[in-house]
Amino acid sequence: MSTALTESGTAATTARIEAHGITVRFGGLVALNEVDLLVPAQSIVGLIGPNGAGKSTLFAVLSGLLRPTAGTVLMDGENVSRSSPQERARRGLARTFQHPELFSAMTVRDHVVLAYRVRHAKSRIWSDLVTGRGFRRPPAQETARVDELIDALHLGDIQHRPVAGLSLGKSRMVEVARALAVDPKVLLLDEPSSGLDVKETEELAATLVRVVADHGVSLLLVEHDVELVLGMCDLVHVLDFGVKISEGKPAAIRADPAVRAAYLGEEIERADVQEQIAKIEQGEPA
């Protein structure tokens, strides 16, 4: 197990997943250059940056879909750099994708059912072939957990529809439900709010915060919605052109002159204005 100190120096915590010196080169292009990242237990960490900054590449490295040119990835202190994506999934890593990777012919519910079984009854992938369990009703425990997730993500009314044809927002919700069904220790979310409306985004944020609080899951969030990131994350990393230019608590990121001036200024100003307006509306001093 490893520990780490956040930038503010306030919390030394066990890291669920760590990346050290991650470098990824595609021919002459350096997509990531010696990037370090740490996601403490039971925390929400944000990863922001412009298009092409390397966020999705880093996600691919962390989840095992892409092998880095250099660097190591640790989960709960163990080196998983050479582990396959499914091995990392078995260790408790789950993720969603910027472009949802759903199983088009399967229903919403089947996505969650499969994910639940992969985690809790994996041998059924083989044993079902000879036991005929496919014809029987699922165990009550499975049904309860699947129902719980579907309700939490507000998917009840579409749970028996094939996912093909769902809106982007609903597709993201399905991906999140599927990811949560494996009871992950670390959940990587790639732009989860993209395509969601205001209400859906608020509900998703509330669900994620609840998951972190209730189940001790650690979240790493790639998000373009700066307000969402700064509002719900404990720690934020900022990437630009494959290099980490800043990390710290949201307030520190908000105040970081380098980030503000050179990188996020416009968005942060907008988030600041929205925060001021919200405070005024709630009768608080601006």
Footprint (CB under 8 A) of other proteins, residues 165-184: 165-170, 178, 182
Contact pattern for other proteins over residues 224 through 263, marking x by CB under 8 A: xxxx-----------------------------------x
Question: How far is Cα of residue 210 from the mean position of the Cα atoms in its chain?
Answer: 14
Cβ of residue 218: shortest distance to other proteins, in angstroms? Answer: 16
Strand partners, 238: 48, 246
Candidates 12-20, 30-38, 164-172, 212-220: pick the segment binding other proteins (CB under 8 A).
Answer: 164-172
**Residue 213 φ/ψ, nearest 5 degrees:** -70, -45
Site for other proteins in 39-98 (CB under 8 A): 48-53, 63-65, 84-86, 88-90, 93-95, 97
Q: Which of 235, 191, 215, 236 lies closest to 92 in space, CA to CA?
A: 215
> From the list 137, 257, 281, 283, which residue makes contact with other proteins (rule: CB under 8 A)?
137
> From the list 201, 207, 218, 246, which residue makes contact with other proteins (rule: CB under 8 A)?
201
**50: its two tokens:** 């412009």
Residue 16 interacting with other proteins (CB under 8 A)? no
Would you list the DSSP string of 227-246?
Answer: HHHHHH-SEEEEEETTEEEE
Distances (CA, A) of 61 to 24, 44, 131, 187, 280: 9, 19, 38, 14, 43
Site for other proteins in 93-132 (CB under 8 A): 93-95, 97, 101-107, 109-110, 113-115, 117-119, 121-122, 124-126, 128-129, 132
**147: its two tokens:** 């129902």
# residues near other proteins by CB under 8 A: 83
Give whichever of 79 and 86 is closer to other proteins, judged by the CB atom: 86
Could you give the CA distance from residue 4 to residue 282 in angstroms, rounded to a whole number? 37
Q: Which of 119, 15, 11, 7 lies closest to 72 in space, CA to CA?
A: 15
Candidates 23-31, 69-77, 210-218, 219-227: pick the segment binding other proteins (CB under 8 A).
Answer: 219-227
